[in-house]
Amino acid sequence: MPTSDLVVLPLAANAPTPLPLTFYAYNAKPVFQAIRHADAFSTLYIELQFPAGCLSSLNGTPLSVTDSLLVTVEPRPDGYGFTLSPSGLVFTLGSTPSVTFSFGRYADPSVADTIASFADRQAYLAALDVWQEVTLGRWRIARGSSPAGVDEIGAAIDAPGEFVLAAAR
């Protein structure tokens, strides 16, 4: 699906911008990381889970069970989404990382008010999925994208790159 056919969930005007996060993912143990809004409640933006053994290779070089890798997550400044790097990272089939977006406090569903395909804001929120960019300007729904709780949507991360929380027009 082309980018123009997606309606990315915007951040509310009063939303504190989530900060980038850099951390080590280890093949020997699971890693859980969260990016939070810089507010008084440290409101969750996304939660990432890297299971043990998920790192397969980097730029064609195999990674062993004892290897670790520096991972960077850069949130989108204008809406719910992020970039995961390094780009040459390959995950182990069947043991990929996952992400959960939490959008209850700072989402701005008013974007649905101007799009005829959504009956109302609730219909827009119900249509949200996690999308992954597969080639420049082309997107697919991330594997396993589904509600993960109240105002939360999760999905698998099959490869590094761009991810957004959006609905198809």
Q: Kindly list the domain boundaries of the chain, sorted by start residue.
A: 3-161
Answer for the pair 58, 69: CB distance below 8 angstroms, yes or no: yes
pLDDT for the residue 151: 95
Nearest to 76 by CA among 4, 9, 146: 9
Q: Is the pLDDT of residue 54 over 90?
A: yes
pLDDT for the residue 44: 96
- Does a cis peptide bond (omega within 30 degrees of 0) precede residue 147? no
Q: What CA–CA distances, in Å, run from 150 to 25, 62, 130, 142, 147?
A: 28, 39, 15, 19, 8
Over the stretch 65-118, which tens digit does the pLDDT of each residue have?
999 999 999 999 889 999 999 999 999 988 999 999 999 999 999 999 989 999
* Counts for the chain of helices (H) and strands (E), in that order: 1, 15
Token pair 């409640």 is found at 41
pLDDT for the residue 77: 86
| Rounded Cα gap, residues 165 and 81, in angstroms | 6
Find the mean pLDDT for residues 30-34. Answer: 98
Two tokens, residue 166: 């959006």
pTM (2 d.p.):
0.94
Nearest to 133 by CA among 69, 70, 87, 169: 87
Answer for the pair 83, 57: CB distance below 8 angstroms, yes or no: no
Find the mean pLDDT for residues 13-18. Answer: 91
Find the mean pLDDT for residues 26-42. Answer: 95
Over the stretch 121-159, which tens digit does the pLDDT of each residue have?
999 999 999 999 999 999 999 999 999 988 999 999 999
Average model confidence (pLDDT) for the chain?
Answer: 95
